[in-house]
Amino acid sequence: MKYLDEYRDHRIARALAAEIVQCTTRPWVLMEICGGQTHTIMRYGIDELLPRGIELVHGPGCPVCVTPLETVDKAIALALQPDVILVSYGDMLRVPGSRSDLFRAKAQGADVRIAYSPMEAVKIARSNPDRKVVFLAIGFETTAPANAMAAWQARREGLTNFSMLVSHVLVPPAIRALLVSSANRVQGFIAPGHVCTVMGCKEYESLVRDFRVPIVVGGFEPVDILEAVLMLVRQLEARQLGADVARLENQYVRSVSYQGNLPAQQIVAEVFEIADQKWRGIGPIPQSGLRLREDYAAFDADRVFDLGEIKVDEPAECISAQVLQGLKKPTDCPVFGMRCAPENPVGAPMVSNEGACAAYYHYRRHAVAS
Amino acid sequence: MSAKTIAETNFELSCPTPLRAKDTILLGHGSGGKLSAELIRDIFLPAFQNPVLARLDDQAIVTVNGQRIAITTDSFVVKPLFFPGGDIGSLAVHGTVNDLAMGGATPLFLSAAFIIEEGFSMDDLRRVVNSLRQAASEAGVQVVTGDTKVVEKGKGDGLFINTTGIGLVPEGVDLSADLARPGDKVLLSGSIGDHGIAILAQREGLEFETQIQSDSAALHTLVANILGVTSHVTPNVTRDIRCMRDPTRGGVSSTLNEIAERSQVGIELEESSLPIHEQVRGACELLGLDPLYVANEGKLIAIVAPEASDAVLQAMRRHPLGTEAQIIGMVKKENAGLVTMRTPFGTTRIVDMLAGDQLPRIC
């Protein structure tokens, strides 16, 4: 398949791995931000190709994993209202809230539908004028333009039965939060390629400058990730030799530009505004999310429906906060693979395929056992 | 955010109480994955326990007056009813014929039960029945009994069909998922994922076009070819062919996981040897699905002794339904109960059984 096979070519991958081995003189801790990248690393065993000293830790970039419990509980409560059709991306359905999940709500009679695009939810609202259609609008900057477009379109059409339950998160504030933490061990970041396709590289300049940390915008295939690692290692090793620089580099040039997708940014800015946001497994991070602007209040499910204050008890059992900050590996967790498994997740990163714990469970537990 | 704040949040973890899928039936219980297996283990097996059922193969084989008879039953709830490459009628024949064939049986007779929703189009019913008749005739089986039930509007989804099949097992043939042994080869009769993607592309709300056709087909003549050649090569068929399965719901991954579990062996696949059509790969990339978990309705997996594997592979390839057959892996002693895959990078990963249905990813 064009544009994919060449980035999965094992000969190129091995050549890159050999180059990384050659230029690595000391241990480095690198973090890939996006869950899609974590998934690739585990699926292809990229970390096994790297020299022992290069440690890849896994960042908080799994949108399903970081969606707060309260949002899941609200979605379930909405879905169970008899006149509501709840539309969601597929992998949100199995995410456990505090007592149930959307699959169970569906089994109890809730009308829950899977969509690939939020525009499908608008279409459902159009053809079901007597029902209230709620779209569970979650994700990073990647899904924000399409979600914004749905609200924009619904407003343009004057739909009165469409709303969105919004839980949007932003990458740069999360990286900043990791970097200011005294516990931080990460020395270089692979920034998420699809987020940057929308937002451009430009957003990461200030992080590189403020923290003098190298950031490479990376793609999602094995060759992409190895090349991004090589670029980071080269910067870090050069610094050892006295070069006092940290640079923002773009490995994913076939998709990412400096400015990003301006029309997409425009629609996001028109519909959403930046707000404080809680991250499941991490906690609240200031100015790290998006909420609907006042002009779009009529499409905000939080305001349209009286859901009351949902307060969730959170038993502190798993180590997801440490995992999502790169402080621990999923396999360090005492309940990993025992009480916590994808069919029965205890914590956020075990929930979606792209969560770090689920990736380890699906692809690596034989290595843990042996 | 200050360092202190993020440190404090370490103590406010968002970990929900684990949810056990024990109180109600979920869609995932019908997916062929772990939830289905749990349901069978916890509810059905204890209720009906007997040695024939306990083998948990695709068909039961019972002996009556010295004659070994294979019986199987399957219900068809596919939506849409008509799809590229088939419809619920032909599928209802192929599915049941294949479950008999995987036990090495020659399929003979079928029953067909129709559960029809009030208001269903008579023309569509005629189309389905005609397709079922044609598929049965092509497969050389007769529909000898049936049943009709009509349920109120809204109480069914158009049309459901159940078929039960009976066949005879030739002497010397003994295939079962618990017979795989280290060193055996894993053979696959052709490309994977065609049926599942053909169905998905037709679903409402998914607007993409492909020319992918379902692979729905009756496999008993392919099975006859395999058994025939093997008995020719070495007279004792049972020694060479350990097990055959058609990887339907849950795909190749679920089927191989079942074999690994039942035989208590490891199965190692070679990623580069998996036959996958370009269009299926493309659709899976686009939808965030793994072809290893996508359903097939006209493919079989055979676990074969190493000394017979080449002969069996050639026999498969000589049949029109096996031209793309491949040896995709081998049975190992290590990692008992697990399916693993060697990637082209020289690394190894697990090919897990899914809990429920494969879900499309958000991005």
Domain residue limits, chain B: 60-168, 185-350
CA angle at residue A254 from A249 to A260, to 5 degrees?
70
Closest Cα in chain A to B362: A89
Rounded to whole angstroms, the Cα distance separating B91 from B70 reads: 19
Tell me the two tokens of residue B157: 């989804």
d(CA A284, CA A68): 10
- The mean of the pLDDT values for chain B is 89
Contact A322 B349 (CB under 8 A): no
Residue B61 has pLDDT above 70, yes or no: yes
Residue pLDDT, tens place only, B68-122: 999 999 999 999 999 999 999 999 999 999 999 999 999 999 999 999 999 999 9
pLDDT at A354 over 90: no
Ranges of each domain in chain A = 5-52+173-250, 65-170+260-304, 320-369
Contacts of A366 in chain B (CB under 8 A): 335, 338, 340, 348, 350
- CATH number assigned to the domain with residue range B60-168, chosen from the 4 options 1.10.1040.10, 3.30.465.10, 3.40.50.1860, 3.30.1330.10: 3.30.1330.10
CB contact under 8 A, A89 and B362: yes
* B154 in contact with chain A, both atoms CB, cutoff 8 A: no
Residue B8's pLDDT is what? 35
Least confident range from A193-202, B47-56, B140-149: namely B47-56
In chain B, which among 301-340 make CB contacts under 8 A with chain A? 335, 338, 340
- Model confidence at B19, pLDDT cuts 50, 70, 90, reads very low
Q: Enumerate the residues of chain A whose CB falls inside 8 A of the CB of residue B18.
A: 96, 339-340, 344-346
Q: Which of residues 18-77 of B touch A (CB under 8 A)?
A: 18-21, 24-28, 34-35
Q: From the CA of A241, how many Å to the nearest CA of chain B?
A: 30
* A152-176: average pLDDT: 97
| Mean pLDDT of the region A101-128 | 94
Residues in chain B within 8 Å Cβ distance of A173: 1
pLDDT greater than 80 at residue A314: no
Backbone angles phi, psi at A298, to 5 degrees: -65, -15
Give the helix ranges, DSSP H, for B141-277.
Answer: 194-202, 220-233, 237-240, 251-263
Where is average pLDDT lowest: A83-87, A172-176, A181-185, B266-270? A181-185
Cβ atoms of residues B222 and B319 within 8 Å: yes
Give the pLDDT band (50/70/90) at residue A166: very high
Classified by CATH at the fold level, domain B185-350 comes out as: Phosphoribosyl-aminoimidazole Synthetase; Chain A, domain 2 (3.90.650)
A283 touches chain B (CB under 8 A): yes
Q: Do A316 and B12 touch (CB under 8 A)?
A: yes
- Each residue of B209-246: pLDDT tens digit? 778 999 999 999 999 999 987 666 666 656 789 999 99
Question: Judged by CB atoms within 8 Å, which residues 232-251 of B form the interface with A?
Answer: none
Instruction: Please check whether the two domains, A5-52+173-250 and A65-170+260-304, share a CATH topology.
Output: yes
- Across the interface, of B7, B18, B347, the residue whose CB is closest to A346 is B18
Which of A119-128, A306-315, B33-42 bottoms out in mean pLDDT, i.e. has the lowest?
A306-315
As a whole number of angstroms, the distance between CA B99 and CA B101 comes to 5
In this complex, which of B1, B15, B346 lies closest to A318 when CB atoms are compared? B15
| Whole-structure pTM value | 0.88
Give me the CATH code for the A5-52+173-250 domain, please: 3.40.50.11750
Instruction: Go through A129-144 and write b for each residue having 16 or more CB atoms within 10 A of its CB, e for each that does not.
Output: eeebbbbbbbbbbbbb
How far A284 CA sits from the closest chain B CA (Å)?
A: 8
Is A253's pLDDT higher than 70? yes
Position A94 scores a pLDDT of 82
pLDDT digits (tens, 9 = 90+) for A44-98: 999 999 999 999 999 999 898 889 989 999 999 999 999 999 999 988 888 888 8
The pLDDT-based confidence of A346 (bands split at 50, 70, 90) is confident
Q: What pLDDT shows up at residue B11?
A: 30
CA separation, residue A357 to residues A71, A247, A348, B60, B362 (Å): 21, 31, 9, 39, 18
Residue B339: pLDDT over 90: yes
Q: Kindly provide the ipTM of the predicted complex, given to two decimals.
A: 0.84
Q: What angle do CA B39, B42, B44 make, to 5 degrees?
A: 75
Q: Are A29 and A59 in contact (CB under 8 A)?
A: no
Read off φ and ψ for residue B69, nearest 5 degrees: -110, 135
Q: Report, as an integer, the average pLDDT of A177-190.
A: 94
pLDDT at residue number B355: 75
Q: State pLDDT tens for residues B241-292.
A: 999 999 999 999 999 999 999 999 999 999 999 999 999 999 998 888 899 9
CB atoms within 10 A of CB B30: 16
CATH number of A65-170+260-304: 3.40.50.11740
DSSP structural state of residue B271? G
